[in-house]
Amino acid sequence: MPTTLKPVLGAAPEGAHNPDAAARAVREMFTLIAPRYDLLNHVLSFNVDRLWWRRTARSFAHILAQPDARVLDLCCGTGDMAFALRKQAVKSAPQILGADFSHAMLQRARAKSHNEDKASQNVNTPRWIEADALNLPFPEQHFNLVTSAFGFRNLADYDAGLREIARVLRPGGECGILDFSEPKGVIGNFYRFYFKQILPRVGTMLSGVRGPYAYLPTSVERFPEPEEMLARMRQAGFREATWTPYTFGIAGLYRGKK
């Protein structure tokens, strides 16, 4: 019989002593940084984040090619992963839905969607919904694909998040979780110095808000290592669980099939 892993909670911002408080703190942080969220992502990642989104979207081209596919981008933020999925699926036009529990982030996703559609006359517009990733307002077996880019790590309960993704996926449906990791060796030493010493200072300076960019390195440290994350995916009901490192392991894509 497979080993049952010990329960693990998720995000734990400073001062949050239970999952409900953690969720509230995360929502408040993203509300504060929403106005400059996109700028900071691109600056702090040296624009590599755009490559990561595109690479993730290409990984699911076989699902996106299905014209009747239903796709959910979870913890969608300002919509960049959803837009990358749409660009990959330009010939098939599946239904793409972005969900996030931060109203401020969704406002920006909608504004970006309107501007992009106006410029490109693209009719395959992602739809946006305010929703909690741990209690999604969708029936079972509803989606062919569920993605999450740099948002899953902020859930208050990782195991519950995986179970909820599995619940809304159709049998044979796939999930893709793109998130940060901690690389090893010399690259890891440089990464940790940048992530703990440089990034929080630059992020605070550009956003005018300290908390979120001090929290970011801590949240990555707290996130399960790839092998543990894969074991938790299998425990939640995913088979063929894999992790593909991006850019020396700074980030990586977790994939699984229901």
Q: Over 80: is that where the pLDDT of 122 sits?
A: no
Indicate the pLDDT class of residue 7, thresholds 50, 70 and 90: low
Indicate the pLDDT class of residue 121, thresholds 50, 70 and 90: low
pLDDT, tens digit (0-9, with 9 covering 90-100), for 201-251: 988 888 888 778 888 888 898 899 999 999 999 999 999 999 999 999 999
Distances (CA, A) of 105 to 35, 69, 220, 226: 8, 25, 21, 28
Cα Rg for the chain, rounded, in angstroms? 17
* Alpha-helix residue ranges (DSSP H) falling in 34-172: 37-44, 48-59, 61-64, 80-88, 103-120, 158-168
- Domain assignments of the chain as residue spans, ordered by start: 19-257
Distances (CA, A) of 212 to 29, 31, 53: 6, 10, 22
Q: Over 60: is that where the pLDDT of 154 sits?
A: yes
pLDDT, tens digit (0-9, with 9 covering 90-100), for 52-75: 999 999 999 999 999 899 999 999
* Alpha-helix residue ranges (DSSP H) falling in the chain: 19-33, 37-44, 48-59, 61-64, 80-88, 103-120, 158-168, 185-193, 199-207, 211-222, 226-235
pLDDT score of 1: 42
pLDDT, tens digit (0-9, with 9 covering 90-100), for 182-197: 999 999 999 889 988 9
pTM confidence score: 0.91
The answer to whether the beta carbons of residues 142 and 170 sit under 8 Å apart is: yes
Q: How many CB atoms lie within 10 A of CB 178?
A: 25
Residue in the block written with tokens 């410029």: 119
Copy the structure tokens of residue 47: 């624009």
CATH of span 19-257? 3.40.50.150
